[in-house]
Amino acid sequence: MDITSPAFDPGQPIPSKYTPFGEDISPPLIFSDVPAEAKSLALIMDDPDAPAGTWTHWTVWNIDPSSPGLGSAQKSPGSKEGVTSAGYTGYHGPCPPAGTHRYAFKLYALDKVLDLPSAATADQLKSEIEGHELAQAELIGLYSKN
């Protein structure tokens, strides 16, 4: 399984358009080689370099596994978004306090559709994912506050 973005290459800067310094919309993501037996996909975007520990910027689950990806600022029909570390529901783009941070977009192919409310946290989502992963892929982008 693979996750890529036409907006940035792996290990390269995420354009400001996808941050609070721009439009703060989610970047387009492309999914490929999803296992045929997947019942749903889940996505977690986080910053492992945050000063207080890993900071969650976005969670989405129950993405249709036949979806080719997510367009910029788009949600998959029937999917749900959870609460970020900042307390928002939905996408909250890169906004490091200083220096360059890594932002990981982690895609999970699951053997079931998840039964979680939209107010679920990343920890709750991770708990539900555990034991149901068929495959995982990751895309890392960078962002520096200038």
Domains and CATH numbers, the chain: 2-144 (3.90.280.10)
Q: Which of 124, 8, 107 is nearest to 64 (CA)?
A: 107
Q: What is the pLDDT of residue 83?
A: 95
Q: What is the pLDDT of residue 119?
A: 85
**Mean pLDDT of all residues in the chain?**
95
Instruction: Determine the Cα–Cα distance for residues 69 and 32; give it in Å rounded to an integer.
Output: 8
What secondary structure letter does DSSP report for 72? T
Q: What is the pLDDT of residues 55-73, one digit of tens each?
A: 999 999 999 999 999 999 8
Q: What is the pLDDT of residues 83-115, one digit of tens each?
A: 999 999 999 999 999 999 999 999 999 999 999
3-state class (DSSP) for residue 128: helix
Helices (runs of H) and strands (runs of E) counted in the chain: 1, 8
57 backbone dihedrals φ, ψ, rounded to 5°: -105, -20
